[in-house]
Chains A and B, each alone.
Chain A
Amino acid sequence: MSVGLNYYLILAAVLFTIGLVGLLIRRNVLVMLMCVELMLNASNLTFVAFASKLKDVGGQADVFFVLVVAAAEVVVGLAIIVSIYRKRLGATADDLSSLKG
């Protein structure tokens, strides 16, 4: 027997919440980036779940777009993080307020 849709959705919600909470409470930039990835994948999971349930391949196709965007985001994000670490070792997200208006 197959696993019901609700389980997928609950798992995705849990993953998303973990990611969101992690993003909000952790100060380590690297970990925050990982949390963003977690949230993206939570949404991917819902896409795939609904695609399977509704027999619509469009949802699965969307996942590819999300993956591509996530990969690009990781590239840019990691590059920024690396350059920040080179300048100020051990900096947390709260120290990086140079974009303050």
Chain B
Amino acid sequence: MKLVFLIPAFPLLGALSLIFFGRKLKEPLAGYIATLAVGMSFVFSVVVWLAFLGYHSSVFVEHLFVWINTGSFKVDAGLRVDPLSLTMVLFVTGVSTLIHFYSVEYMHKDIDFPKFFLYLNLFVTSMIILVLGNNMLLTFVGWEGVGVCSYFLISFWHERPSAASAGKKAMIVNRIADVGFLLSMFLVIHYVHSLNYSAIFAAAPHLSKSVVAAIVMLAFVGAMGKSAQVPLYGWLADAMEGPTPVSALIHAATMVTAGVYLMVRLSPVLALSPDIAHVITIIGILTAFMAAMAATAQDDIKKVLAYSTVSQLGYMFVGVGTGAYAAAIFLMVTHAFYKALLFLSSGSVIHGMHDEQNLKKMGALRIVMPITAVAFFTGWMAIAGVPPFAGFWSKGDVLLGAFGESWLVWIIGLATAGVTSYYMGREYCLAFLGKARWMPATVKGKKKSAKAVSHSPHIDPHEPSYKMMIPVVTLAVLALLGGLLNLPFASSLKFLDNFLKPAIAASPSYLHSSALTQIVLGSLDAIFAIGGGLIAYFIWSKTFERPALEFTLFKNAWYIDKTGDVAIARSSTKLAEVTDGVIEPKVIDGAVVGVTKLVLAVGILIRKLASGFVRREALVIAGGLVILIIIGGLRGGL
């Protein structure tokens, strides 16, 4: 257990060695070092987990050092090991290792190869600090750390203007949301005088209802930004400008779940404020539904997955809001498996198609990429929630919570599950089934591939090398078997529920509904999942142009982003132009220049006194002397 500090130390060490020696290491050594660092981190996570299983208490805090000590306010840097943080750390480091390994091949021949792995390692370090931190401030350090790594990695190909601006957008949207997190911390400092989670949980029941509500709501604002909830979700779709492994790691499996983690971490406080829990449920289900609809009309293979991630995060918040915290974490873990799987296999597709991301220009890839097709199919089944794939069990748990909360939330959730299966089916059919639409005549290279296409008239999609296949296949197995973590058949089979119980607030009673209810709900889930998938198959396996089914409203993701663009971005651009064109030159420069002009004018006046006539100046001195003597005489009473 004392070894827990090694979990963040290894990726940090990897990042540091890449800072200093990255240029010399070149590829693929830099990539393998980074992979090894994260892999060691995973190994020690397992070691700590095994040690924790035999530990007598449900919380272990490894105190590292006193961080801030200002009289009454003190913050210790410490790592909190409890079931929640362990679950997070295990799947974060595990999935990260696979994605690191995948990236070694994917980023092959990139000029900034070592830098990419530096950022990835730094990201994993921050993410581990985020989940292991024993107080809100340390979590916030990790929170900002993953934010800045996300920014670096989204705009990794910063020579592309779209990538650069996508990075900035992610940064700005997250900063706006972070204000909520900060204010929440200020409230906690004011009322609890400590940021330690244990202290917060102990003090929360004694605080007034409104204070608790404010703390939780502001923290949720922070979570909304990080986890891309309505209306702050536009940045996640744009974040797909980053390399695909980044989308898999940061914008699907780990970072974006930080908001869910924060709310589950604060669940003992959240449970005291049912009103805010309702707000979270509403935002969650709204996000799940809206993003799923947006995903039905996207043409970019990664954009579909991006909106799908947003939608799944919405589900997780439904779990949080309805008190099904364990279900939210369960969905988070399984989602990490199947979404990483989907992103990595779409990465293989993009790789094989020479950086082509448009679904409308793919088709029939199952013939040339059979393993990837199977992997993607597994991902589809898992995310759709077809039994026995992982998503069925985890989404089932969340929907069970929604069912207990309200009929409306449950129905929307169920419909969204059908839509989820539909849009993933559409994506699968467009990419892997139907007729090939990438014959030389129709191929139009895009972005970087323009050059590659011009000198090679035939693109030949192919399976990537085994190095990229290993992580994909591993994740496919996990996506298939992930449900084993938490099977509903007997309480002894609910491993995750039982494991997490001490770390989270008690779940409401309706989660323990009767077996009959569970079977009926589960069957409905399965019917919707399979139904959505079948509809998608019948529509999209034969044709790829159905404009009637790709609504402009959904293609533009409900115009929320555009509205924000017009209402906020444009107006603030105008404001910036005004400050640049008027306030800056007239007011600020005016003040600065005014001071110099004043000094100059005074100087012109004063220098007339310096006539250069020595005798006159001597006379002035003498006159002054006389006046001084007279004054002195008068004062002395002469």
- Residues of A whose CB lies within 8 Å of any CB of B are 20, 23-25, 27, 32, 93-94, 96-101
Q: What residue of chain A has the Cβ atom nearest to residue B607's Cβ?
A: A101
Contacts A23-B615, A94-B615 given; indicate if A101 touches B622 (C-beta within 8 A).
no
Pair B608/A97 contact, Cβ less than 8 Å? no
- Taking the nearest CB of chain A, how far is it from the CB of B431, in angstroms? 83
User: Which residue of A20, A25, A93, A101 contacts B614 across the interface (Cβ within 8 Å)?
Assistant: A93
B593-628 near A? 1/0 per residue, CB < 8 Å: 000000000000011111111110011001000000
- Residues of B whose CB lies within 8 Å of any CB of A are 606-615, 618-619, 622
A64 to B615 CA separation, bound complex (whole angstroms): 28
Pair A101/B615 contact, Cβ less than 8 Å? no
Which has the most chain B C-beta neighbours within 10 Å: A20, A94, A98, A101? A101
Pair B613/A94 contact, Cβ less than 8 Å? yes
| Residues of chain B contacted by A32 (CB below 8 angstroms) | 614-615
Contacts A101-B607, A101-B608, A101-B609 given; indicate if A24 touches B614 (C-beta within 8 A).
no
Number of A-B contacts defined by CB within 8 Å:
36
User: Which residue of B606, B610, B615, B618 contacts A99 across the interface (Cβ within 8 Å)?
Assistant: B610
Pair B619/A99 contact, Cβ less than 8 Å? no
User: Which residue of A23, A27, A98 contacts B612 across the interface (Cβ within 8 Å)?
Assistant: A98
Q: Offer 23 A-B interface pairs, CB within 8 angstroms, sorted by A.
A: A23-B618, A23-B622, A24-B619, A24-B622, A25-B615, A93-B613, A93-B615, A94-B615, A96-B612, A96-B614, A97-B611, A97-B613, A98-B612, A99-B610, A99-B612, A100-B610, A100-B611, A101-B606, A101-B607, A101-B608, A101-B610, A101-B611, A101-B612
- Taking the nearest CB of chain A, how far is it from the CB of B500, in angstroms? 83
Pair B612/A24 contact, Cβ less than 8 Å? no
| Residues of chain B contacted by A93 (CB below 8 angstroms) | 613-615
A98 to B611 CA separation, bound complex (whole angstroms): 9
| Residues of chain A contacted by B612 (CB below 8 angstroms) | 96-101
| Residues of chain B contacted by A27 (CB below 8 angstroms) | 615
| Residues of chain B contacted by A96 (CB below 8 angstroms) | 612, 614
Q: What residue of chain A has the Cβ atom nearest to residue B603's Cβ?
A: A101
| Residues of chain B contacted by A23 (CB below 8 angstroms) | 615, 618, 622
Pair B607/A24 contact, Cβ less than 8 Å? no
| Residues of chain B contacted by A25 (CB below 8 angstroms) | 615
| Residues of chain B contacted by A97 (CB below 8 angstroms) | 611-613
6 nearest A-B pairs in the assembled complex, by CB-CB distance: A101-B607, A97-B612, A100-B612, A101-B610, A93-B614, A99-B612
A98 to B618 CA separation, bound complex (whole angstroms): 16
| Residues of chain A contacted by B618 (CB below 8 angstroms) | 23-24
Q: What residue of chain A has the Cβ atom nearest to residue B604's Cβ?
A: A101
- Taking the nearest CB of chain A, how far is it from the CB of B624, in angstroms? 13
| Residues of chain A contacted by B609 (CB below 8 angstroms) | 101
- Taking the nearest CB of chain B, how far is it from the CB of A72, in angstroms? 19
A100 to B610 CA separation, bound complex (whole angstroms): 6
Pair A20/B622 contact, Cβ less than 8 Å? yes
| Residues of chain B contacted by A98 (CB below 8 angstroms) | 612
- Taking the nearest CB of chain A, how far is it from the CB of B600, in angstroms? 13
| Residues of chain A contacted by B610 (CB below 8 angstroms) | 99-101
Q: What residue of chain A has the Cβ atom nearest to residue B625's Cβ?
A: A20
- Taking the nearest CB of chain B, how far is it from the CB of A96, in angstroms? 7
Q: What residue of chain A has the Cβ atom nearest to residue B609's Cβ?
A: A101
Q: What residue of chain A has the Cβ atom nearest to residue B626's Cβ?
A: A20
A1 to B107 CA separation, bound complex (whole angstroms): 112
- Taking the nearest CB of chain B, how far is it from the CB of A99, in angstroms? 5
Which has the most chain B C-beta neighbours within 10 Å: A96, A98, A100? A100
- Taking the nearest CB of chain B, how far is it from the CB of A42, in angstroms? 13
- Taking the nearest CB of chain A, how far is it from the CB of B294, in angstroms? 74
A24 to B613 CA separation, bound complex (whole angstroms): 11
- Taking the nearest CB of chain B, how far is it from the CB of A76, in angstroms? 15
A96 to B622 CA separation, bound complex (whole angstroms): 20
A101 to B616 CA separation, bound complex (whole angstroms): 14
Which has the most chain A C-beta neighbours within 10 Å: B609, B618, B619? B618
Q: What residue of chain A has the Cβ atom nearest to residue B617's Cβ?
A: A99
Which has the most chain A C-beta neighbours within 10 Å: B614, B618, B619? B614
Given contacts A97-B611, A100-B611, A101-B609, could you give 7 more A-B pairs where the C-beta distance is less than 8 Å?
A24-B615, A94-B614, A96-B612, A97-B612, A98-B612, A101-B606, A101-B610
- Taking the nearest CB of chain B, how far is it from the CB of A9, in angstroms? 14
A100 to B613 CA separation, bound complex (whole angstroms): 8
| Residues of chain A contacted by B611 (CB below 8 angstroms) | 97, 100-101
Which has the most chain A C-beta neighbours within 10 Å: B610, B611, B612? B612
- Taking the nearest CB of chain B, how far is it from the CB of A36, in angstroms? 9
